[in-house]
Amino acid sequence: MQIAVLPGDGIGKEVTAQAVRVLQTVLGKDAEFTEGLIGRAAVKAAGKPLPDETFELAKRCDAILFGAVGGPGDESGPRNLRPGLGLLTLRRELKLYANFRPAFLFPELIGASSLKPELVEGLDLMILRELNGDIYYGEPRGISVGADGRRQGVNTMRYSEPEIERIAHTGFKAARKRKKKLCSVDKANVLETMQLWRETVATVGKQYPDVELRHLFVDAACMELLRSPRQFDVIVAPNMFGDILSDAAAMLTGSIGMLPSASVGEGSKGLYEPVHGSAPDIEGRNIANPLAAILSAAMLLRFSFSRENEAATIERAVRSVLAAGYRTADILQPGTKNLGTTAMGDAVVAALQRA
Ligand code: NAD
């Protein structure tokens, strides 16, 4: 198994190191890890956010374990040097269009959720975010000077029917394996692109009569997610709305440091990363929660290598560590023990060695 490790920036480096240790513990000599530069670290060392060497590594490997990219002030720099462009290019060039973001509440963290226990107990939903289209990639884009001499910014929300169809199929198939409920999120009341999204999802839905399909406008979806999240099973959303909804869902599970993700396409290759960013505010302090990265490693085993047993073993190890009362600062509760990033990694590795 060839695994590319792209830690990136900030806490990306800290949490990815723990995920690699976990994979090494589970896989032993079955896996070979090769590290590459991406993001700010790559701009500094190689002059661009996705060096050719890193791109070749990502293409060659079976799976990519990714940390996070970015840092303060990126938004004002030239677009071709933005760290986030490295990640966007990888997702697009490798055609990883389906981003699975499970929002699962470990029962041990019920007190850390932003909602009352009775609203989130048993929460287990899947947000499926389209990853290759939408306003993130649409042209034209840019900042130009208008006729009045003042600047104007333009971005284009664009989706083609085939792009919507393929993510809709992924959503229906995912729902079929769960509680057979799919909620499609759009803004069809205002945006034509989203009208096409809704119509296309509804048409694809006719091929899945066993799955209950519901449509929600994104504002209503946000409200419902925070009011009564257990009504959802699988949520399928365009790129931008999926990004926002999954960060909101993270708060229900206790912390953004708990949310893993898997980005996949047609083949078995995938990119696995925590949903959180590089968190410059806590970088270098050994306090970042590594569990989202570790749970992303479990998704890597499940999605790219069909190693369900090992994936489930990692998830059980995480659960046992939480049950033993170990926490990082973001999920600390009265009566629990505050561990740093490395010590939390140690605890998961120790639980795996006992398993
Ligand atoms: P962020 O996710 O980095 O941080 C948001 C908040 O959550 C911060 O208070 C941070 O300390 C906390 N947090 C995040 N991960 C945590 C963890 N594992 N443990 C404990 N606390 C954690 O989002 P942001 O602050 O909006 O962005 C910071 C940088 O990350 C920006 O440059 C942004 O562009 C980038 N970013 C990158 C990705 C990615 O690489 N996929 C995703 C989101 C943001």
Q: Give the tens place of pLDDT for each residue, 266-279.
A: 989 999 999 999 99
Single-letter code of the amino acid located at 141: R
Average pLDDT over residues 212-224: 97
Is residue 178 classed as helix, strand or coil in its secondary structure? Answer: coil
For residue 30, indicate whether it is catalytic.
Answer: no
Is residue 301 classed as helix, strand or coil in its secondary structure? Answer: helix
Cβ of residue 71 lying under 6 Å from some atom of ligand 1: yes
- Are 152 and 143 spatial neighbours (Cβ–Cβ below 8 Å)? yes
- Report the mean per-residue pLDDT for the chain: 96
CA distance 202 to 214: 9
Q: Are strands 262-264 and 270-272 parallel, antiparallel or unpaired?
A: antiparallel
Cβ of residue 282 lying under 6 Å from some atom of ligand 1: yes
In the reported structure, the alpha carbon of residue 66 is separated from the centroid of ligand 1 by a whole-number distance in angstroms of 14
List of residues 6+ apart from 329 with CB closer than 8 A? 287, 289, 338
Protein residue whose Cα sits closest to atom 5 of ligand 1: 279
pLDDT surpassing 90 at residue 210:
yes
pLDDT surpassing 90 at residue 42:
yes
In the reported structure, the alpha carbon of residue 353 is separated from the centroid of ligand 1 by a whole-number distance in angstroms of 31
Cβ of residue 86 lying under 6 Å from some atom of ligand 1: no
pLDDT at 324: 97
In the reported structure, the alpha carbon of residue 172 is separated from the centroid of ligand 1 by a whole-number distance in angstroms of 30
pLDDT bin (cut points 50, 70, 90) of residue 293 is very high
pLDDT in tens, 57-116: 999 999 999 999 999 988 888 888 999 999 999 999 999 999 999 999 999 999 988 899
| 6, containing H or E segment | strand 2-8
Average pLDDT over residues 157-175: 98
- Are 133 and 243 spatial neighbours (Cβ–Cβ below 8 Å)? no
Task: Give 324: exposed, middle or buried? Use CB within 10 Å, 0-12, 13-18, 19+.
Answer: middle
Mutating to test ligand 1, I would choose from 276, 281, 339 the residue with most ligand atoms within 8 A of its C-beta, which is 276
CA distance 62 to 4: 8
pTM of the model: 0.94
Q: Name residue 32's beta-bridge partners.
A: 2
| 248, containing H or E segment | helix 239-252
CA distance 142 to 186: 24
pLDDT in tens, 230-253: 999 999 999 999 999 998 888 899
- Are 296 and 19 spatial neighbours (Cβ–Cβ below 8 Å)? yes
pLDDT bin (cut points 50, 70, 90) of residue 302 is very high
pLDDT at 77: 80
- As a whole-number percent, the residues of the chain with pLDDT over 70 amount to 100
pLDDT bin (cut points 50, 70, 90) of residue 298 is very high
pLDDT at 355: 86
Q: Which of 277, 274, 310 is CA-nearest to residue 292?
A: 274
Sorted by where each starts, the structural domains of the chain and their CATH numbers stand as 1-96+265-355 (3.40.718.10), 98-258 (3.40.718.10)
What is the tally of helices (H) and strands (E) in the chain? 12, 14
CA distance 130 to 348: 31
pLDDT at 313: 98
CA distance 337 to 292: 19
List of residues 6+ apart from 246 with CB closer than 8 A? 101, 103, 127, 129, 259, 261, 275
For residue 243, indicate whether it is catalytic.
Answer: yes
C-alpha gyration radius of the chain: 20
Single-letter code of the amino acid located at 204: V
Mutating to test ligand 1, I would choose from 278, 342, 348 the residue with most ligand atoms within 8 A of its C-beta, which is 278
CA distance 158 to 192: 9
Cβ of residue 69 lying under 6 Å from some atom of ligand 1: yes
Cβ of residue 288 lying under 6 Å from some atom of ligand 1: yes
Options 97, 136, 208, 326, the catalytic residue: 136
pLDDT surpassing 90 at residue 124:
yes
Q: What phi and psi, each to the nearest 5 degrees, are found at residue 103?
A: -110, 95
pLDDT at 337: 97
